Chain A
């Protein structure tokens, strides 16, 4: 077994746990947090591969990923606030106005 494998395993486990959070939780904020974890795990993969292949680009990409994640969170929170104002709930199963 190559010794980068444990690192990747950790990243993937984080990804899967985050995915579970996104898929099963009803609280919009928890969903957002889980999403953060997924994104972070993806960034982690960049950093891991950057280390093992000896190029720094992966770390640069983590910065990009972090920036995108930050903006995504910001917009997500804004939407949450908006939804709360309109529906008085943050339950994702209640957000179904896309189809009447």
Chain B
């Protein structure tokens, strides 16, 4: 079984090598090759997941990666319920997106390169999910970051794309500093990085250290999962091709932070403070990102902010201690958000790269199928039963309340309302109303190779929640499954009537959709929209300008950092102080030489005088010594 697991993880890497090295020759077939290896991976994942569902665990060290002193880091993989779920989600969604990309990327320059990168990404992602120790996880963690970098910068001839890629990498790297420090503390206290060594004896940690470790690890997660202080890279990451946004910046990579927190559940369980910080940051991010999504006109950026917001929900789930809810939302979100991005991609494809919603409208006639799946996905994310988003979001909010965090619950509900609003604002803006498409553009439905994955994902978005989230035989399947690995950490505080909670979230969702409908569909909608904007002008401006976070970061960190480095450290400290100091030492030697040079008259008889005077002095000195 362990070799099956290895094969499953390595299969995308093989695809990457083939496409990467022989891309010149595989040119047209690159997409098929890439998808095939992903398909193999997915096919191999099925028996593995079944194996895990049966309650088995695989934990196997393939070889010793680093042995230094007493530290022994193996290269090992682990299959348990948590990673099995990730395995399923990652291989399935990536498989779908690979197929979609065959159509979407067709005819693009560097077709093979794209699939090589994409396969590499999946390989890194699987390594992240399946690693049986923190360092193997870290390889994947950084690996996906790197793949994200090259894929965002895929259109590297555009400066914005290149900049966005770099911004993403550097920002996540800032988070990784925290992650690294967390790992260092773990090594210091446990002398190992293997999960099986750490978690059983996690209780030896002093609470203070547990809090530090959890916060440090979570700081890593804020970078990778685009949470509050470090989320700024994700909207810019939309410069990448749409399948990349769907795969990396919606379905898989950005949720790595959630997975990591859930994986570290035994540590988080030791630190209520750390967990509370996770949940609070999650709630704040969920709300904050939603406000930014409210007013945007860029199709993909709205989805990006919505992703940040949804990951905020997952963070609430794992932060309050109900790890299964976060993971559940991760799974459903992977489906509907990938679907959203892919259908946005289809729109973009049809519109020849235009993403501004003000230039769309009325597209439902031109591309009915895309419109349909988009509405399905939007309903799912808005939390309308019986679609998948409803179950997962409801569980998160319910658990948050029951585990004693009413404020977070409240924020969550408000955010759910906003989510429903901005999603349907987007849908109405794009697909309904009058056509504002510029002259000369003829939007058309996407080809079948793109539509099939859309429909598969749409079915997933509809049924996944119901399959895993409805109570059967006295327990919720996903709760049972995930809790095998990461059980709920904290005891229940409140007993709440669950049906009341369900009604509240449905009302929030429906209300959001209704407000969106009122704002965009009726004839008088523009009038009341402009009244609204005028009345709440400051608030609107804040939202529209994204709270100036990028600008603040720029002024506070980036530019001072650059200027101090260039103007002060390089030009002053290095050139004027250190180097000039060194040169001055040389100059002093030169001056001394000049002083001595006066003696060098150039007349040979003068030299003869000096020689004889020297002889005299030496003789005299010797005489003095023997006297």
Contacts and interface: CB of A to CB of B under 8 A. Distances in A.
A23 B601 contact: no
B600 A95 contact: no
B602 A98 contact: yes
Given A19-B612, A23-B612, A93 B602 contact: no
A2 interface: no
A100 B604 CA distance: 13
B604 A95 contact: yes
Contact of A23 (B600, B603, B609): B609
A31 B603 CA distance: 14
Contacts of A19: 612
A93 B603 CA distance: 6
Contacts of A22: 608, 612
Contacts of A53: none
Given A19-B612, A22-B608, A23-B609, A97 B602 contact: yes
Interface in B586-618: 600-605, 608-609, 612
A13 interface: no
A96 B603 contact: yes
Interface residues of B, number: 9
A99 B609 contact: no
Interface string A68-100: 000000000000000000000000110111111
Contacts of B605: 23, 26, 31, 92-93
B602 A96 contact: yes
A16 to B, nearest CB: 10
A14 B600 CA distance: 29
Contacts of A97: 602
Contacts of A23: 605, 608-609, 612
Instruction: Place the interface of chain A in its size category.
Output: 10 to 19
A8 B485 CA distance: 106
A19 B616 CA distance: 12
A80 to B, nearest CB: 12
Interface in A1-49: 19, 22-23, 26, 31
Q: Which of B601, B608, B609, B612 has the most CB of A within 10 A?
A: B608
A99 B604 CA distance: 11
Q: Which of B601, B603, B612 has the most CB of A within 10 A?
A: B603
A95 B612 contact: no
A96 B601 contact: yes
A99 B612 contact: no
Contacts of A95: 603-604
Contacts of B608: 22-23
Contacts of B609: 23
A92 B602 contact: no
B278 to A, nearest CB: 80
Contacts of B612: 19, 22-23
A22 B613 CA distance: 13
A92 B602 CA distance: 11
Nearest to A35: B608
A31 B609 CA distance: 13
Nearest to A97: B602
Nearest to A95: B604
Contacts of B602: 96-100
A56 B245 CA distance: 101
A92 B600 contact: no
Nearest to A25: B605
A23 B600 CA distance: 17
Contacts of B603: 92-93, 95-96
A46 B229 CA distance: 92
Contacts of A31: 605
Nearest to B597: A99
Contacts of B604: 92, 95-96, 98
Contacts of A98: 600, 602, 604
A100 B605 CA distance: 16
Interface in B546-605: 600-605
Contacts of A96: 601-604
A95 B609 CA distance: 15
Interface of A: 19, 22-23, 26, 31, 92-93, 95-100
16 contacts: A22-B608, A23-B612, A26-B605, A31-B605, A92-B603, A92-B605, A93-B605, A95-B603, A95-B604, A96-B601, A96-B602, A96-B604, A98-B600, A99-B600, A99-B601, A99-B602
Given A99-B602, A100-B602, 16 more contacts: A19-B612, A22-B612, A23-B605, A23-B609, A23-B612, A26-B605, A31-B605, A92-B603, A92-B604, A92-B605, A93-B605, A95-B604, A96-B602, A96-B603, A97-B602, A99-B600
**8 nearest CB pairs, A to B:** A99-B602, A96-B602, A98-B602, A96-B603, A92-B605, A95-B604, A92-B604, A22-B608
